[in-house]
């Protein structure tokens, strides 16, 4: 009889541990294999900070329910955005035509620095390459990027989020990527098309390279055939 009771007790323990293990595996799968890259998230404000794992932050972002370890943080800091949970999951649509070349440009580096002001590796030095990797990886799924996705793919042991400038930085990046960047690309294409396509010819007594521009061979591209209508901005 004692053996049966012990067996039943053992079975109950195994069953309970199995359920807990299943929950843990489910949470890990929901975050993706790259969740290990940022297991610790540090939310900071001028007056408070709290450390939590990525699973808890994701649950907070999806449900709005404040986990116990964050309650004191919200009570201490009056400047924490009230819509912080929804802000974590808001998405920025990035045209795949821009993503790789843009992030490698000086303008792209500026935007990464802007993001780094509010989302950064907890290491002493800025990890712009890690931030770029996180953005590109998040974007590869559906051409959209959210703050939570960046955190999932950030290749660091600990990531710090400064919540005070978070919403402003998000809005700045979204406006630039979805509105200003497409307009700049259209302007660049326009200027490229109207520039003369000049042939280089060699003439006696020219520059040290022996080349000069023959302006008589310049051509202008027909803008009616090649221009992109401004209305196409709405498609980005």
Is 14 within the bounds of a domain?
no
Residues 136 and 229 in one domain: no
Is 188 within the bounds of a domain?
no
Residues 140 and 218 in one domain: no
Place of tokens 């809005």: 171
Is 3 within the bounds of a domain?
no
Is 13 within the bounds of a domain?
no
Is 230 within the bounds of a domain?
yes
| Number of other residues whose CB lies within 10 A of the CB of residue 210 | 12
Residues 110 and 176 in one domain: yes
- Its domain, for residue 44, covers 25-181
Kindly report, residue by residue over 18-59, the tens digit of the pLDDT. Answer: 443 344 444 444 444 444 444 599 998 877 889 999 999 999
More confident residue, 194 or 107: 107
Kindly report, residue by residue over 95-150, the tens digit of the pLDDT. Answer: 887 787 778 888 888 888 888 888 988 766 778 898 999 999 999 989 999 999 99
Is 95 within the bounds of a domain?
yes
d(C-alpha 193, C-alpha 216), whole Å: 18
Rounded average pLDDT over 155-164: 89
Residue 56: its pLDDT value, please?
Answer: 92
Is 10 within the bounds of a domain?
no
158-162 and 49-53 strand pairing: unpaired
Residues 29 and 54 in one domain: yes
Is 52 within the bounds of a domain?
yes
- Residue 224 confidence class, pLDDT cut points 50, 70, 90: very low
Query: How many separate domains does the chain show?
Result: 2
Residues 155 and 66 in one domain: yes
Final residue of a structural domain among 155, 181, 207: 181
E strands along 175-225, which residues?
199-201, 212-214
DSSP 117-147: TTEEESSSS--HHHHHHHHHHHHHHHSEEEH
Question: What is the percentage of the chain residues whose pLDDT exceeds 90?
Answer: 18
**Residue 191 scores a pLDDT above 50:** yes
Residue 226: its pLDDT value, please?
Answer: 46
Helix (H) / strand (E) element for 187: namely helix 181-194
Residues 76 and 176 in one domain: yes
Residues 61 and 157 in one domain: yes
Residues 37 and 107 in one domain: yes
Final residue of a structural domain among 181, 212, 227: 181
Residues 162 and 202 in one domain: no
Residues 84 and 125 in one domain: yes
């Amino acid at each position: 009889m004692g053996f049966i009771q012990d067996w039943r007790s053992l079975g109950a323990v195994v069953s309970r541990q199995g359920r807990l293990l299943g929950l843990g595996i489910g949470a890990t799968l929901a975050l993706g294999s790259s969740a290990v890259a940022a297991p610790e998230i540090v939310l900071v404000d001028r007056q408070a900070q709290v450390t939590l794992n990525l699973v808890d932050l994701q649950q907070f972002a999806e449900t709005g329910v404040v986990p116990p370890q964050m309650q004191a943080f919200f009570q201490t800091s009056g400047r924490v955005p009230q819509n912080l949970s929804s802000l974590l999951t808001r998405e920025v649509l990035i045209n795949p035509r821009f993503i790789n070349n843009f992030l490698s440009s000086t303008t792209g580096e500026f935007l990464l620095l802007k993001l780094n002001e509010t989302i950064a590796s907890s290491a002493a030095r800025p990890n712009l390459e890690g931030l770029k990797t996180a953005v590109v990886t998040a974007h590869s799924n559906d051409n959209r990027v959210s703050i939570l996705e960046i955190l999932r793919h950030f290749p660091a042991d600990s990531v710090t989020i400064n919540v005070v400038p978070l919403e402003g930085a998000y809005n700045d990046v979204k406006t630039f990527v979805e509105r200003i960047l497409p307009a700049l690309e259209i302007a660049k294409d326009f200027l490229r098309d109207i520039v003369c396509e000049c042939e280089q010819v060699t003439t006696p007594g020219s520059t040290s390279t022996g080349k000069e521009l023959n302006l008589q061979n310049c051509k202008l591209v027909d803008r009616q055939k090649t221009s992109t209508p401004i209305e196409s901005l709405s498609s980005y």
